[in-house]
Amino acid sequence: MSPGAGQGADPDATLLLAYAAGDRAAAAALTQRLAPRCLAVAQRVLGNRAEAEDIAQEAMLRLWRQARSWEEGRAKVSTWLYRVVMNLCIDHKRRQRGGHLDLDAVPDPPDPGLSAAEQLQHGARMDALQQALMQLPERQRQAVVLRHIEDLPNPEIAGIMDISVEAVESLTARGKRALAAALSGRKAELGYSDG
C-alpha cells in the first residue's frame, strides 16, 4: 500500500493518477476542483485577472505533465500546485519589475443576493483590500493570501512557500498588521463603524 493510500488518501492524487492512466473524466474533475483555486490565488497575488489566468493555465499544464511521475503520499496535489502557482507568480513579477500592475482589472463578481448599493459597497471593500494587498511585501502578500483568503493551514503554507511554520506565522502576522494599518483610515469610506 502506498504511503498516501487508505483513510487519509489525497482525493486529488487519486484523480491525477487516474488521469495518468488515461481517464479523461478524472482530468475534468480535477480541473474543476483545482483550477478556480489556482486562479483565485494568482489573481490575489498579481492583482491582474488576465495575468492570473495565464499563471493558472500554466500551473495546470505543469500538473498534467507531472501526472505520470506523481508519487502519491509525497505531497498533496493541492500543496504542490499552490507552490507552482506561487513560483510562477514570483517569476512573472521578476520579469515585470518596473512595469505597471492594473488594479482596475481585478473585478470581483457581484453577489446576486446583494442590493445595488450593497454590491457597490462590497466592490469598494474588495478593491480596497486588493490595493492594500498589493502594498505588502511579496512574501507577506503570499502568506496572507494563502492563510486568510484561501484558508490553508500554516504547515501547508510552509510547504508551498518552502519556509518554516514559524516564518509563515510571522509573515501572516506582519501582513495582517500592515493591512489593518493601510485600511484603518478608510473605515467610514468603506462602510465600517466601530460600534
How is residue 38 written as a grid cell? 489556482
- Dist. CA 191–CA 105, nearest whole Å: 23
- Dist. CA 120–CA 126, nearest whole Å: 10
Q: Nearest 5°: CA angle at 32, between 114 and 23?
A: 165
- Is the pTM higher than 0.75? no
Tens-binned pLDDT, residue by residue, of the chain (195 aa): 344 444 457 889 999 999 989 888 998 999 999 999 999 999 988 888 999 999 999 999 999 998 888 887 778 898 899 999 999 988 888 887 755 445 444 455 444 565 666 667 667 777 877 888 888 899 999 999 899 888 889 999 999 899 999 999 999 999 999 988 888 877 777 766 654
- Dmax (CA) for the chain in angstroms is 58
Amino acid letter for position 153: P
